[in-house]
Protein backbone atom coordinates (compact mmCIF):
# COMPACT_ATOMS: atom_id res chain seq x y z
CA UNK A 1 0.00 0.00 0.00
CA UNK A 2 2.70 2.43 1.05
CA UNK A 3 4.75 1.35 -1.91
CA UNK A 4 1.83 2.07 -4.21
CA UNK A 5 1.30 5.53 -2.84
CA UNK A 6 4.99 6.25 -2.95
CA UNK A 7 5.31 5.08 -6.50
CA UNK A 8 2.27 6.95 -7.66
CA UNK A 9 3.90 10.11 -6.52
CA UNK A 10 6.89 9.60 -8.74
CA UNK A 11 6.34 11.19 -12.12
CA UNK A 12 8.23 8.45 -13.93
CA UNK A 13 6.04 5.70 -12.60
CA UNK A 14 2.83 7.60 -13.09
CA UNK A 15 2.61 6.33 -16.61
CA UNK A 16 2.90 2.77 -15.38
CA UNK A 17 0.31 3.39 -12.72
CA UNK A 18 -2.11 4.85 -15.20
CA UNK A 19 -1.62 1.99 -17.61
CA UNK A 20 -2.08 -0.42 -14.76
CA UNK A 21 -5.41 1.14 -13.86
CA UNK A 22 -6.63 1.10 -17.42
CA UNK A 23 -5.56 -2.48 -17.92
CA UNK A 24 -7.25 -3.39 -14.67
CA UNK A 25 -10.57 -2.71 -16.28
CA UNK A 26 -9.78 -5.08 -19.09
CA UNK A 27 -8.65 -7.72 -16.64
CA UNK A 28 -11.97 -7.48 -14.86
CA UNK A 29 -13.86 -8.08 -18.09
CA UNK A 30 -11.44 -10.80 -19.02
CA UNK A 31 -12.17 -12.59 -15.78
CA UNK A 32 -15.94 -12.25 -16.15
CA UNK A 33 -16.50 -15.48 -18.05
CA UNK A 34 -14.35 -17.46 -15.65
CA UNK A 35 -16.17 -15.95 -12.69
CA UNK A 36 -19.60 -16.84 -14.03
CA UNK A 37 -18.63 -20.39 -14.84
CA UNK A 38 -16.93 -20.84 -11.50
CA UNK A 39 -19.67 -19.22 -9.48
CA UNK A 40 -22.60 -20.97 -11.09
CA UNK A 41 -21.31 -24.27 -12.37
CA UNK A 42 -18.60 -24.57 -9.71
CA UNK A 43 -16.13 -25.62 -12.38
CA UNK A 44 -12.67 -24.14 -12.83
CA UNK A 45 -12.44 -23.97 -16.60
CA UNK A 46 -8.83 -24.96 -17.21
CA UNK A 47 -9.32 -24.36 -20.91
CA UNK A 48 -10.40 -20.77 -20.31
CA UNK A 49 -7.25 -19.10 -21.57
CA UNK A 50 -7.21 -21.18 -24.71
CA UNK A 51 -10.85 -20.30 -25.34
CA UNK A 52 -10.00 -16.64 -25.15
CA UNK A 53 -7.02 -17.01 -27.47
CA UNK A 54 -9.23 -18.90 -29.88
CA UNK A 55 -11.54 -15.92 -29.95
CA UNK A 56 -8.59 -13.65 -30.53
CA UNK A 57 -7.48 -15.73 -33.48
CA UNK A 58 -10.96 -15.73 -35.00
CA UNK A 59 -11.01 -11.97 -34.76
CA UNK A 60 -7.51 -11.68 -36.16
CA UNK A 61 -8.22 -13.79 -39.19
CA UNK A 62 -11.49 -12.10 -39.86
CA UNK A 63 -9.61 -8.82 -40.07
CA UNK A 64 -6.92 -10.32 -42.27
CA UNK A 65 -8.97 -12.45 -44.58
CA UNK A 66 -12.07 -10.33 -44.95
CA UNK A 67 -10.75 -6.94 -44.06
CA UNK A 68 -13.24 -6.48 -41.27
CA UNK A 69 -12.61 -3.80 -38.71
CA UNK A 70 -11.68 -5.39 -35.42
CA UNK A 71 -14.77 -4.03 -33.72
CA UNK A 72 -16.96 -5.54 -36.41
CA UNK A 73 -15.25 -8.86 -35.82
CA UNK A 74 -16.98 -8.89 -32.45
CA UNK A 75 -20.19 -9.73 -34.29
CA UNK A 76 -18.46 -12.86 -35.50
CA UNK A 77 -16.45 -13.84 -32.48
CA UNK A 78 -19.12 -13.61 -29.80
CA UNK A 79 -21.69 -15.94 -31.39
CA UNK A 80 -19.02 -18.40 -32.49
CA UNK A 81 -17.67 -18.69 -28.98
CA UNK A 82 -21.19 -18.93 -27.60
CA UNK A 83 -21.91 -21.91 -29.78
CA UNK A 84 -18.53 -23.35 -28.91
CA UNK A 85 -19.29 -23.05 -25.21
CA UNK A 86 -22.72 -24.62 -25.56
CA UNK A 87 -21.19 -27.47 -27.53
CA UNK A 88 -18.46 -28.12 -25.01
CA UNK A 89 -20.92 -28.15 -22.14
CA UNK A 90 -23.53 -30.28 -23.87
CA UNK A 91 -21.21 -32.77 -25.49
CA UNK A 92 -18.64 -33.20 -22.80
CA UNK A 93 -19.26 -31.65 -19.43
CA UNK A 94 -22.79 -32.90 -18.91
CA UNK A 95 -21.63 -36.44 -19.55
CA UNK A 96 -18.81 -36.19 -17.08
CA UNK A 97 -20.90 -34.56 -14.40
CA UNK A 98 -23.73 -37.04 -14.78
CA UNK A 99 -21.28 -39.88 -14.28
CA UNK A 100 -19.99 -38.15 -11.17
CA UNK A 101 -16.53 -37.85 -12.63
CA UNK A 102 -13.94 -35.11 -12.48
CA UNK A 103 -14.13 -32.53 -15.25
CA UNK A 104 -10.57 -31.37 -14.57
CA UNK A 105 -8.76 -33.89 -16.73
CA UNK A 106 -11.29 -33.38 -19.49
CA UNK A 107 -10.71 -29.65 -19.40
CA UNK A 108 -6.98 -30.15 -19.33
CA UNK A 109 -7.23 -32.38 -22.39
CA UNK A 110 -9.35 -29.73 -24.04
CA UNK A 111 -6.81 -27.04 -23.20
CA UNK A 112 -3.99 -29.18 -24.54
CA UNK A 113 -5.91 -29.96 -27.70
CA UNK A 114 -6.94 -26.36 -28.33
CA UNK A 115 -3.48 -25.02 -27.69
CA UNK A 116 -1.84 -27.44 -30.07
CA UNK A 117 -4.58 -27.14 -32.63
CA UNK A 118 -3.93 -23.43 -32.80
CA UNK A 119 -0.20 -24.01 -32.86
CA UNK A 120 -0.59 -26.46 -35.70
CA UNK A 121 -2.98 -24.33 -37.72
CA UNK A 122 -1.59 -20.91 -37.13
CA UNK A 123 2.07 -21.37 -36.06
CA UNK A 124 3.52 -20.13 -32.81
CA UNK A 125 4.21 -16.68 -34.22
CA UNK A 126 2.85 -13.79 -32.25
CA UNK A 127 -0.15 -12.00 -33.68
CA UNK A 128 -1.84 -8.74 -32.92
CA UNK A 129 -5.29 -7.57 -33.88
CA UNK A 130 -5.12 -4.18 -35.58
CA UNK A 131 -6.46 -1.44 -33.42
CA UNK A 132 -9.36 0.65 -34.71
CA UNK A 133 -8.09 3.67 -32.83
CA UNK A 134 -4.58 4.90 -33.15
CA UNK A 135 -4.65 8.27 -31.45
CA UNK A 136 -2.67 8.91 -28.35
CA UNK A 137 -3.82 11.29 -25.73
CA UNK A 138 -1.60 13.10 -23.31
CA UNK A 139 -2.28 13.51 -19.65
CA UNK A 140 0.35 15.80 -18.17
CA UNK A 141 3.54 14.05 -19.18
CA UNK A 142 2.06 10.61 -19.71
CA UNK A 143 1.11 9.34 -23.12
CA UNK A 144 -1.80 6.94 -23.23
CA UNK A 145 -3.30 5.35 -26.28
CA UNK A 146 -6.95 6.16 -26.72
CA UNK A 147 -7.68 2.50 -27.29
CA UNK A 148 -6.70 1.70 -23.74
CA UNK A 149 -9.07 4.30 -22.39
CA UNK A 150 -11.91 3.11 -24.58
CA UNK A 151 -11.21 -0.48 -23.58
CA UNK A 152 -11.33 0.49 -19.94
CA UNK A 153 -14.69 2.19 -20.33
CA UNK A 154 -16.18 -0.68 -22.32
CA UNK A 155 -14.84 -3.21 -19.83
CA UNK A 156 -16.33 -1.55 -16.80
CA UNK A 157 -19.64 -1.05 -18.59
CA UNK A 158 -19.73 -4.70 -19.58
CA UNK A 159 -19.07 -5.90 -16.05
CA UNK A 160 -21.77 -3.59 -14.73
CA UNK A 161 -24.16 -4.80 -17.39
CA UNK A 162 -23.63 -8.42 -16.49
CA UNK A 163 -24.08 -7.57 -12.84
CA UNK A 164 -27.36 -5.90 -13.69
CA UNK A 165 -28.52 -8.89 -15.70
CA UNK A 166 -27.64 -11.28 -12.92
CA UNK A 167 -29.34 -9.37 -10.17
CA UNK A 168 -32.30 -7.76 -11.87
CA UNK A 169 -33.54 -9.98 -14.66
CA UNK A 170 -35.60 -13.13 -14.50
CA UNK A 171 -32.88 -15.08 -16.25
CA UNK A 172 -30.35 -13.85 -13.72
CA UNK A 173 -32.65 -14.96 -10.94
CA UNK A 174 -32.95 -18.43 -12.40
CA UNK A 175 -29.17 -18.60 -12.73
CA UNK A 176 -28.58 -17.55 -9.15
CA UNK A 177 -31.19 -19.98 -7.88
CA UNK A 178 -29.69 -22.84 -9.87
CA UNK A 179 -26.26 -21.88 -8.54
CA UNK A 180 -27.38 -21.94 -4.91
CA UNK A 181 -29.35 -25.17 -4.92
CA UNK A 182 -29.71 -27.29 -8.01
CA UNK A 183 -32.42 -29.60 -6.69
CA UNK A 184 -34.52 -26.81 -5.23
CA UNK A 185 -34.27 -24.96 -8.53
CA UNK A 186 -35.53 -28.02 -10.40
CA UNK A 187 -38.39 -28.28 -7.92
CA UNK A 188 -39.61 -24.83 -8.82
CA UNK A 189 -39.62 -25.53 -12.47
CA UNK A 190 -36.17 -24.33 -13.54
CA UNK A 191 -34.56 -26.48 -16.20
CA UNK A 192 -31.14 -26.46 -14.59
CA UNK A 193 -29.36 -28.30 -17.37
CA UNK A 194 -30.46 -25.74 -19.88
CA UNK A 195 -29.56 -22.89 -17.55
CA UNK A 196 -26.10 -24.31 -16.99
CA UNK A 197 -25.49 -24.86 -20.68
CA UNK A 198 -26.66 -21.36 -21.54
CA UNK A 199 -24.49 -19.93 -18.84
CA UNK A 200 -21.44 -21.77 -20.05
CA UNK A 201 -22.15 -20.49 -23.52
CA UNK A 202 -22.59 -16.95 -22.26
CA UNK A 203 -19.37 -17.25 -20.29
CA UNK A 204 -17.55 -18.26 -23.44
CA UNK A 205 -19.25 -15.52 -25.43
CA UNK A 206 -18.09 -12.94 -22.91
CA UNK A 207 -14.64 -14.42 -23.19
CA UNK A 208 -14.80 -13.88 -26.91
CA UNK A 209 -15.87 -10.31 -26.39
CA UNK A 210 -12.91 -9.58 -24.17
CA UNK A 211 -10.65 -11.59 -26.47
CA UNK A 212 -10.93 -8.99 -29.21
CA UNK A 213 -9.84 -6.19 -26.91
CA UNK A 214 -7.11 -8.32 -25.39
CA UNK A 215 -5.84 -9.18 -28.84
CA UNK A 216 -5.76 -5.53 -29.80
CA UNK A 217 -3.79 -4.44 -26.79
CA UNK A 218 -1.42 -7.42 -26.50
CA UNK A 219 0.38 -9.61 -28.99
CA UNK A 220 -0.67 -13.19 -28.50
CA UNK A 221 0.22 -16.72 -29.62
CA UNK A 222 -1.20 -20.17 -28.86
CA UNK A 223 0.80 -20.45 -25.65
CA UNK A 224 -0.55 -17.22 -24.17
CA UNK A 225 -3.63 -19.01 -22.89
CA UNK A 226 -2.16 -20.24 -19.64
CA UNK A 227 -1.00 -16.79 -18.55
CA UNK A 228 -4.43 -15.38 -19.31
CA UNK A 229 -6.13 -18.14 -17.35
CA UNK A 230 -3.90 -17.56 -14.34
CA UNK A 231 -4.39 -13.82 -14.43
CA UNK A 232 -8.16 -14.20 -14.69
CA UNK A 233 -8.07 -16.71 -11.88
CA UNK A 234 -6.17 -14.21 -9.76
CA UNK A 235 -8.82 -11.58 -10.42
CA UNK A 236 -11.66 -13.98 -9.64
CA UNK A 237 -10.04 -15.33 -6.49
CA UNK A 238 -9.21 -11.90 -5.13
CA UNK A 239 -12.76 -10.77 -5.77
CA UNK A 240 -14.30 -13.83 -4.23
CA UNK A 241 -16.66 -16.36 -5.70
CA UNK A 242 -20.02 -15.00 -6.72
CA UNK A 243 -18.99 -11.38 -6.73
CA UNK A 244 -19.20 -9.65 -10.09
CA UNK A 245 -18.89 -6.05 -9.03
CA UNK A 246 -15.84 -6.98 -6.98
CA UNK A 247 -14.13 -8.04 -10.19
CA UNK A 248 -13.56 -4.41 -11.12
CA UNK A 249 -11.79 -3.58 -7.92
CA UNK A 250 -9.87 -6.81 -8.02
CA UNK A 251 -8.91 -6.19 -11.64
CA UNK A 252 -7.66 -2.73 -10.79
CA UNK A 253 -5.54 -4.07 -7.96
CA UNK A 254 -3.99 -6.68 -10.18
CA UNK A 255 -3.45 -4.21 -12.95
CA UNK A 256 -1.69 -1.81 -10.65
CA UNK A 257 0.40 -4.49 -8.96
CA UNK A 258 1.46 -5.89 -12.29
CA UNK A 259 2.29 -2.57 -13.82
CA UNK A 260 4.26 -1.27 -10.90
CA UNK A 261 5.98 -4.62 -10.56
CA UNK A 262 7.00 -4.48 -14.18
CA UNK A 263 8.28 -0.96 -13.64
CA UNK A 264 10.40 -2.14 -10.73
CA UNK A 265 11.81 -5.34 -12.11
CA UNK A 266 11.43 -5.32 -15.84
CA UNK A 267 8.76 -6.29 -18.31
CA UNK A 268 9.52 -9.98 -18.73
CA UNK A 269 8.83 -10.80 -15.13
CA UNK A 270 5.77 -8.69 -14.45
CA UNK A 271 3.39 -11.61 -14.60
CA UNK A 272 5.23 -13.13 -11.69
CA UNK A 273 3.80 -10.45 -9.44
CA UNK A 274 0.30 -11.50 -10.35
CA UNK A 275 1.13 -15.15 -9.79
CA UNK A 276 2.72 -14.37 -6.47
CA UNK A 277 -0.36 -12.43 -5.46
CA UNK A 278 -2.57 -15.34 -6.44
CA UNK A 279 -0.47 -17.70 -4.40
CA UNK A 280 -0.61 -15.42 -1.39
CA UNK A 281 -4.37 -14.89 -1.62
CA UNK A 282 -4.98 -18.58 -1.92
CA UNK A 283 -3.00 -19.28 1.17
CA UNK A 284 -4.27 -16.38 3.20
CA UNK A 285 -7.87 -15.76 2.18
CA UNK A 286 -9.08 -18.17 -0.46
CA UNK A 287 -12.66 -16.98 -0.33
CA UNK A 288 -11.69 -13.58 -1.57
CA UNK A 289 -12.79 -10.21 -0.31
CA UNK A 290 -16.23 -9.65 -1.77
CA UNK A 291 -17.35 -13.21 -2.12
CA UNK A 292 -20.76 -14.42 -1.15
CA UNK A 293 -20.29 -18.14 -0.73
Partner 1 sequence: MLEINNLEVCYGDTQILYNISLRVNEGEIVALLGSNGSGKTTLAKTIAGLVKPRAGNITLNGSRIDKLPPHKIVEKGLSLVPEGRMVFPHLSVLENLLAGATVTLKRKGNFRVLLDYVFEVFPVLRERQYQLARTLSGGEQQMLAIGRALMCNPKILILDEPSLGLAPIVVQAVFRTLKKINEDGLTILLIEQNAFEALRMSNRAYVMETGKIVGEGTPNQLFSNELLRKAYFGLREGGI
Partner 2 sequence: MPYLLHFMIMLFIYIVMALSWNLISGYCGQIALSHAAFFGIGAYTFALTLVADTHPLIGLILGGITASFFALIISPSLRLGKAYFAAITLLLAEVMRTVMINWRASGGASGLVLEPFPGHTLTNSYLGALLLMTSTLVATYIIVNSRIGLGFICIRENEYAAAAIGIPVLLYKVIAFCVSGFIAGVAGSYYASYILYIEPYSAFSFSWLGSAAFSCLIGGVGSLIGSIIGASIYLLVSEMFLGFGAFSTLIIGILIIVVVLFFPRGVVGALEKLVKRTFLSSQTK
Q: Alpha-carbon distance 290 to 293, whole Å?
A: 9
Residue 46 in the binding site for partner 2 (CB under 8 A): yes
* Options 119, 137, 160, 173; binder of partner 2; rule CB under 8 A: 119
3-state secondary structure of 207: helix
* Options 4, 271, 290, 292; binder of partner 2; rule CB under 8 A: 271
Residue 136 in the binding site for partner 1 (CB under 8 A): no
Q: What is the dihedral of CA 213, 214, 215, 219, to 10 degrees?
A: 140
Residue 173 in the binding site for partner 1 (CB under 8 A): yes
Strand-pair partners of 139 = 142
* Options 126, 184, 272, 280; binder of partner 1; rule CB under 8 A: 184
Largest CA distance in the chain: 61
Q: Alpha-carbon distance 260 to 273, whole Å?
A: 9
b/e burial code for range 106-118 (CB count within 10 A of at least 16 → b) = bbeebbeebbeeb
Q: Using CB under 8 A, which residues numbered 73 to 92 contact partner 2? A: 92
* Options 79, 109, 130, 219; binder of partner 2; rule CB under 8 A: 109
Residues that bind partner 2 (CB under 8 A): 43-44, 46, 92, 95-96, 99, 101-102, 104-106, 108-117, 119-120, 226-227, 229-230, 233, 268-269, 271-272, 275, 278-279, 282-283, 286
Residues that bind partner 1 (CB under 8 A): 170, 173-174, 176-177, 180-181, 183-192, 242, 292-293
Amino acid sequence: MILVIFLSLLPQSRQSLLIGILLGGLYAMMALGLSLILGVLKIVNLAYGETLILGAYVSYYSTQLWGLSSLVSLILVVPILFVFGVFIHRAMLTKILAAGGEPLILLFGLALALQNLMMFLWTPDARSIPSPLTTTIHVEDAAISLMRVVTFIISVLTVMLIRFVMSQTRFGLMVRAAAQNKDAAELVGINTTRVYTLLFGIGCALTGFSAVFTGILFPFNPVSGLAIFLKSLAVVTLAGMGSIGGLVISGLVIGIVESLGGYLIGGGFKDLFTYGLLLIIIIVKPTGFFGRY
